[in-house]
Amino acid sequence: MGFADQQLQLQVPYSPDDTFNALKTAMEKLPKVKVDSASPTTRTVAAEIGMSLWSWGENISISVVPVEGGSGVTVNSSSKVRTNVLNGGKNAKNIAEIVDALSKELERYPQVS
């Protein structure tokens, strides 16, 4: 990871398949996000956020893995231009928006017991 790249790992009490499906739906609802690929086999999503006034854009990668009691989710946000060392705040904001959207979408699914 680069200097300004951000990563967040979290655990949710939902099955990996439900978590992945909720993630895909959540990502599609985020207006600035373009999903490049989503693999149900590996439960990974690759996406990007386009250029803005403050950034050349970011690459997003997310993986969902089974863990005891639910799913582990890892969200990475990295600047498209590596020299943009001040972009850490934007990457952190991207992750927060994705996690918020995922949390809202997961409310529609049953928790694992």
- The residues, ordered by sequence, that sit 6+ positions from 37 with a Cβ below 8 Å of its Cβ are 44, 45, 46
CA 5 from chain centre, in angstroms, equals 13
pLDDT tens, per residue, the chain with 113 residues: 445 578 999 999 999 999 999 999 999 999 999 999 999 999 999 999 887 666 678 999 999 999 999 999 999 998 877 655 554 477 888 999 999 999 999 999 999 97
- The whole-number pLDDT of residue 4 equals 58
| pLDDT for res 56 | 76
Contacts of 47 (CB under 8 A, 6+ apart): 27, 33, 34, 35, 36, 59, 60, 61, 62
Q: What angle do CA 80, 81, 86 make, to 5 degrees?
A: 105
- pLDDT tens for each residue of 7-37: 999 999 999 999 999 999 999 999 999 999 9
100 and 12 Cβ atoms separated by less than 8 Å: no
Contact of 14 with 70, CB cutoff 8 Å: yes
Please give the pLDDT value at position 90.
79
Domains and CATH numbers, the chain: 6-106 (3.30.530.20)
Positions of E strands within 3-108: 6-12, 33-39, 44-49, 58-67, 70-79
- Say how far apart CA 20 and CA 31 lie, in whole Å: 19
